[in-house]
Chains A and B, each alone.
Chain A
Amino acid sequence: MPTLIKGRRVVSETTPSPEQGEVLRLEPTDDPAAAAERLARVARVEVHFPKFGDGRGFSIGRLLRERYGYQGELRAVGHITRDHLFFLESCGFDAFELRDGEDPHAALAAFADFSDSYQASPKRPLPLFRRRLA
């Protein structure tokens, strides 16, 4: 059973009610620009990571948050291990469906893998050099 982390906590899955809207699933080849119109009406967006090393979804996450202003749940699904979590969160993801066999409670520690990052992200809109100078 894949397990879900949301808001940095292990949670059980809930099916969205009809009035919450549908689930929009994006494959790595999908262009988030094409989905921009629908973003205000969906219950959540799922971005699929088909392989451990397939990094296209990271760009999709940032685009959804930074360019298309998506504010709702952004969930990474597919081949997700704890090793992705810090980067995913930095790219705007806030929900993570771990691959089978990955211990979700142990995985929570990965959010603290790094205490800072050099780059800007939806979470930290200023890159480190701007904050260093502040």
Chain B
Amino acid sequence: MYLYDEIDQRLVDERVRQFRGQTERFLAGQLSEEEFRALRLRNGLYIQRYAPMLRIAIPYGLLSTRQLRKLSDIARRYDRSYGHFSTRQNLQLNWPKLEQVPEILAELATVQMHAIQTSGNSFRNVTTDHFAGVARDELVDSYVWCEIIRQWSTFHPEFSFLPRKFKIALNGAKADRAAVAVHDIGLHAVRDEAGELGFRVLVGGGLGRTPIIGVCIREFLPWPHLLTYLEAILRVYNRYGRRDNIHKARIKILVKERGADKFRDEVEAEWAHLKDGPATLIREEIDRVAARFTRPAYQPLSDIDLGGVNVPGFANWLKRNVYPHKVPGYAAVTLSLKKTGVPPGDVTSEQMDAIADLADRYSYGELRVSHEQNLVLADVRQADLVAVWREARALGLATPNLGLLTNIISCPGGDFCALANAKSIPVAEAIQRRFDDLDYLHDIGELDLNISGCMNACGHHHVGHIGILGVDKNGEEWYQIEIGGNQGEIRPGLKAALGKVIGPSFARAEVPEVIERLIDCYLAHRDSDAERFIDVVNRIGIAPFKEHVYANADQRPSRRQRDHALA
């Protein structure tokens, strides 16, 4: 954990006071709806379908057990005893009362937490690899760099009223587990020939209604220039990004309209003025931030072979939910929040408390939120894995499905969200029920399935190997299916990609059947167990899948129902 110093804490406390004042002015009629909207949004407060929704920041997904217990406590006292972990590694409360939000923020501030810039047209939570600091392929501890960006982007006076929201992701390992190519700015740590650290800078990626893969505007930005270069990009965006149409206001549209080369030239011209200025980073600051992070005091251990552990169920979990650690004798464990029947990413207060206990006993009192909406205990002794598995299973957090079809990313959808065209959670559940045979699931192999309830794409459907999008047709919920998306270059050679729509959409009840047909087609075409669904899509294209899914579609009852609905 990064531990606040006195100034970090003071700024968060001052924010609580400021927001309390803004809420009071709104309730007293001194701020208009529109004004308060812009102010409350930049503090993560939405007015949703049934109630306000408060999004609490979990910077780069890193959480201490003290903080998790506070979240549990807040959910219990101010909400309905549960929360939802989002793809931005944050936590959302679905039922807080507007008047109580200042109180909630004050409580959060006592554990160095806040809801600053979790929504609105501002910098959002900077996200990273959930295995940062422990992965074997790591070049640099991305948390340090994320914290530096967090501070730079917090209450930035020049960039507090951007054309639209702004998301930065930073990846510090060889494999891209942070989906950097689908962010407004994606930073990928690289080393030059002399071994110096720098960043490859991607810009203009994003999902939403105009999904685009980011373009690289700088192959190697030496680390001291990180903030001045970001400042140059943001200044170009702040001045020239479109403000006339909310759907064209993201930086990706500016990059697209200008062309990547022209955009790069403008950034470089701006940067020429800022380069080597006072915001240029220095080694002492990197060291200072690094030193404020608590790190586990690892014991000298050796790796142990758990292959021989003869406990039914353990082997599957070990294979799927346990990740190798750079320190011998340790492993990173993913606690799955994808149990069938539970909305993906949801946890109860009771579970939060139990998870905090687990993390205290087995993982140095820290945990991470992954953008796939699971929780990670990053520093578990291998000798404790069987015990952790037993306890996690008892809590319903040991579904051995990481990387598999039922580890579904899903937005809250029409059950909660005012923007959604369709529900997501029941679709996720129906698919999980259809694929409840673990052996079959493991045989299908690695597959990302993502669901969004509308084209805002909070469920990242464009980058699922299979993506499902809820659409509205004449007031009815329909679902469009894409295949071939990929969140990032987790394995060498398979780059970030956007899925392609296979054809006309389906009724909700049809979706599990369609997924099954896609899987059947994949299994019939794969050349070995090693060839994954996404590999087959890339090799043979979407046509065979399309054919297989839509064959005899006319005779399906749901098709007639749709024709009727559209008539």
Contacts and interface: CB of A to CB of B under 8 A. Distances in A.
Given A115-B10, A116-B7, A59 B158 contact: yes
B221 to A, nearest CB: 18
Interface stretch (A1-9, A14-22, A35-43, A84-92): A84-92
Given A55-B159, A56-B238, A114-B14, A132 B7 contact: yes
Interface string B264-290: 000000000100011101101100100
A11 B173 CA distance: 56
Given A53-B121, A62-B158, A120 B7 contact: no
Nearest to B163: A55
A127 B152 CA distance: 9
B156 A129 contact: no
B510 to A, nearest CB: 42
- Counting chain A CB atoms within 10 Å of each CB, the highest count among B15, B155, B282 belongs to B155
B279 A119 contact: yes
Nearest to A123: B157
A52 to B, nearest CB: 5
B4 interface: no
B238 A83 contact: no
Which of B7, B154, B162: most chain A CB closer than 10 A? B7
B157 A86 contact: yes
Interface stretch (B33-41, B319-327, B391-399): B33-41
Interface residues of A, number: 36
Nearest to B241: A56
Contact of B273 (A67, A86, A119, A130): A67
B64 to A, nearest CB: 22
B243 interface: yes
A87 B158 CA distance: 7
B14 A59 contact: no
Contacts of B155: 87, 114, 117-118
Contacts of B31: 81
B35 A83 contact: yes
Interface in A90-134: 90-91, 101, 103, 113-121, 125-130, 132-133
B161 interface: yes
Given A55-B159, A127-B227, 13 more contacts: A58-B161, A58-B238, A81-B35, A83-B39, A88-B157, A91-B157, A91-B158, A103-B30, A113-B14, A114-B11, A120-B279, A129-B288, A133-B285
The 8 closest A-B pairs by CB, nearest first: A55-B161, A90-B157, A87-B157, A129-B285, A118-B151, A58-B158, A120-B278, A113-B18
